Structure 1
Amino acid sequence: MSNCEIIAVHGGACAKFDASLAEDCRFACGTGTVENALTDLERIEKFNCGFGSHLTIDQEVECEASYMSSKNLSFGAVGAISNVFHPSRVARHLAHSNWWKQRRLLHPLILVGRGAEKYAVKNDFPTCTPEELVSKAAKESFEKYLHRMLHPYDTHDTVGAISINTNTMNSESGTSSGGIVLKHSGRLGHSCVYGSGTWSERRQYEEPFDQVSERTISICSTGHGESLVKADFCRGIATRVLDDEEGIMYSEIIREFIHEKMEHGSRYGGIALIADKFKDRMSLEFLIFHNCRYLPAAVRCRDNQIRVFESQFDPDQCTTDPKCVIESFIM
């Protein structure tokens, strides 16, 4: 990967600390692209995506994934898909496919169920039997929560990856998820919803003396899907960041959004990369924010060094409103 491509990965909202998750995020960062990073996580049983996805109430795997690019706001997502090893690759392919445009047909943003599976087969993505996606850990988690259906879940959540090219100022973002354990069959989470699971956008601004500045954001989320959908989470945060002309700290923009839009008691988290460019000057900021116990993440910086973040949060020790942690790092 060239040093102009900055990539960050998170391992999903977690209720318990596990240092190995952050190391897996470090490895995924080294693969070079959002697609490759998500593909790596989909192979690792401990993450809730691909192989290792949570089981539905009917003891089946239904994966979902999304991809977005700042180029033309291209977006693709698949949901309730049960026979594909890497749903994130299918989502990216859907976002960039010209098949419909060439035939003057409406290009779908989301494919689900049998339609998504047929699309994957048609485009030669590796497929499997649904049973091949069921891991031992997923079975154990199903049995555990089947008898605790009214208790809070302490499992892993949606994983995500984001990137910004500091030369072109283009950005990409993606998610992959098995959804929440014991979900109803056919349920779609925030990953599949335009604006909720991911957002990547580049904007130019007119400055005095005919100068132009640019700002790019890439963001992805994890947590309780229904609450994230209602908040239009990623697009809502991105819009406020891109609209800001007063120089408000990005962490404060995110905090205000969470305070206004997120339902009380919902679990959420996310990571964001934000680049500002004017002439030859470039500033790059990485943010990690959540109200879960642990959110593992890693970033590959402009010097090609990978930084690991083991962001932890104790709600009992938090005195802010809303109760969450927001950390910001200059890259």
Structure 2
Amino acid sequence: MKPILLVHGGAGDISDDRVPGKLNGIKKSLRDGVQLLVNGGSSLDAVEEAVRSMELDDSFNCGYGSVLNINGIVEMDASIMEGKNLNAGCVTLLQNMAHPICVARKVMEKTNHNFIGGEGALKFAHSQNFEVLTQGALVTENAKIALEEFKERQNKGLDTLFSSTELNKKQKRDLGETVGAVAIDGNGNIAVATSTGGITGKLSGRIGDTPILGCGTYADNKIGGVSTTGHGETIMRFNLAQRILQNINHKHVSAQQATEDVCKEMTQRLIGTGGAITIDKEGNIGIYFTSKRMAWGYIKDNQLVYGINKGETFTENL
């Protein structure tokens, strides 16, 4: 099996001025993660490293680039899963952590649980020697401006967080959405990692699809792996990741066809937009989004392939 690393940097109404930062961040994430694969490392190590890279880049809505809830606080979600034994770790409502994806992996490896949230997740991270940042250390100027604009529109009656007719009305400074990575290593083991700061102006305590297995993340060596991005409430209700894998498994369609069909069906039925990246057990890739844009990229056969607009693909030799 030839190793493959596939990543996304968020689907949404991404503004033109944010495109270069996202593409540069995608390429860096791929280069950081693929080094582990080409040196015989595991798919699990590769997806963690790829997402960890994006958590340090404020072009993405995760880690340092996370958006703010209605109270101006960063609350993050993350999940990681490996497809051999179906082991997984998930965290939610995590504050003051630079790398939620690393905390999620520790939940998988160091506890008897799959999912820890809130204060308990923070205490667990501290027990595993993760650095607890000072309150506000993850808050960026762009995130502050986005929240101010959200509140202005809300006061004018132009924005309701969860109204289906308003899902695609985004603030002027779109900070992007969830990031994720899917990989298959030389042994055919599949892993998936997903991380997010959620949506601007969300209620305190809101949890999206990202930390929920089958919605934001799923990996199964017998079928494939999927990481999703977009409007969390929509993706959660539609169980997007699991539906894509079930289409591959039961309808015997390609990873690309399954990803495209299920994303389209979700948006047609529930209005909310989103996207997904998929690798099946044979190493075939699927990439699709119903949003205006989704930053994505993969490395396969010593080529880096990436894009952000529909119908657009760029290729670089490594």
Do the aligned residues in 2 keep the contact of 1:19 with 1:310 (CA within 8 Å)? Answer: no
Describe the shift of the 1:307–1:251 C-alpha distance in structure 2 as closer, same or farther (beyond 3 A). Answer: closer
The one of 194, 208, 215 equivalent to 1:189 is 208
**Which of 308, 311, 314 is the aligned partner of 2:309?**
311
**What residue in structure 2 maps to residue 52 of structure 1?**
65
Greater gyration radius? 1
Cα deviation, 1:30-65, whole Å, max 9, x if unaligned, reads 112111111111111121101121100011110111
**Alignment map for 1:245-256 (pairs within 5 Å):** 245=252, 248-256=253-261
Is the counterpart of residue 269 in structure 1 residue 275 in structure 2? yes
Q: Which amino acid aligns with 1:293?
A: K
- In the alignment, is residue 75 of structure 1 matched against residue 80 of structure 2? no
- Is the aligned partner of 1:174 residue 2:198? no
Aligned partners of 1:265 and 1:47: how far apart in 2?
A: 24
CA distance in 1, matches of 2:80, 2:256: 24
Distance 1:119 1:78 in 2: 10
Question: Quick one: distance in 1 between partners of 2:202 and 2:28?
Answer: 30
User: What corresponds to 2:141 in structure 1?
Assistant: 136
The farther-off stretch of 13-22 and 77-86 is 13-22
Q: Residue deviations 1:55-96, cap 9 Å, x none?
A: 000111101111011021111111111121100100112122
Query: What SS does the corresponding residue of 1:114 show, helix, strand or coil?
Result: helix
Residues 1:29 and 2:19 aligned together: no
Q: Deviations over 1:256-300 (max 9, x none)?
A: 434544543201111111242xxxxxxx32221111111111111
CA contact (8 A) 1:269 1:291 kept: yes
| Richer in helix (by share) | 2
1: CA distance, partners of 2:260 / 2:288 = 9
Aligned equivalent of 1:236 = 243
Q: Residues 9 and 29 of structure 1 are in contact (CA less than 8 Å); yes or no, is this contact kept in structure 2?
A: yes
CA contact (8 A) 2:257 2:286 kept: no
Query: Which residue of 1 is the match for residue 177 of structure 2?
Result: 157
CA distance in 2, matches of 1:296, 1:70: 25
Spell out, residue by residue over 1:145-177, the C-alpha distance to the aligned partner (whole angstroms, 9 max, x if none): 111133412521111111011x32111111110
Q: For 1:129 and 1:29, how far apart are their aligned partners in 2?
A: 30
Alpha carbons of structure 1 residues 295 and 113: separation in structure 2 relative to 1, 3 Å: same
The 3-state SS of whatever aligns with 2:143 is: helix
Q: TM-score, normalised by structure 2?
A: 0.83
Secondary structure of 1:147's match?
helix
Q: Distance in 2 between matches of 1:254 and 1:13?
A: 14
1:220 matches 2:261: no
1:20 aligns with: 21
Counterpart of 2:163 in structure 1 is none
One-letter amino acid of the counterpart of residue 31, structure 1: D
> How many positions carry a matched residue from both structures?
283
2:233 aligns to what SS in structure 1? Answer: helix
Distance in 1 separating the partners of 2:9 and 2:264 = 24
Partners of 1:126 and 1:37 in 2: how far apart? 20
CA distance in 2, matches of 1:11, 1:256: 21
What amino acid is aligned across from residue 300 of structure 1 in structure 2? I
Q: Distance in 2 between matches of 1:259 and 1:91?
A: 30
Unaligned runs of 5+ in 2: 34-45, 160-168
SS in 2 for 1:148: helix
Q: Which runs of 4+ in 1 moved over 4 A?
A: 259-262
Letter of the 2:227 partner, please give it. C
Percent identical residues = 29
In structure 2, how many angstroms separate the alpha carbons of the residues matched to 1:256 and 1:12?
19
Contact 2:178-2:197 within 8 A present in 1 as well: yes
Please provide the CA RMSD for this pair.
2.1
Is residue 294 from structure 1 mapped to residue 282 from structure 2 by the alignment?
A: no
For the Cα contact (< 8 Å) 2:259–2:276, is it kept in 1?
Answer: no
Q: Deviations over 1:207-244 (max 9, x none)?
A: xxxxxxxxx41210001111111111101211221233
In structure 2, C-alpha distance between the alignment counterparts of 1:218 and 1:311, rounded to whole Å: 23
Counterpart of 1:296 in structure 2: which amino acid? Answer: A
Within the alignment, does 1:86 sit opposite 2:99 as a pair? yes
Displacement of 1:19 after TM fit? 2.9
- Name the CA distance, whole Å, in 1 between partners of 2:86 and 2:239: 16
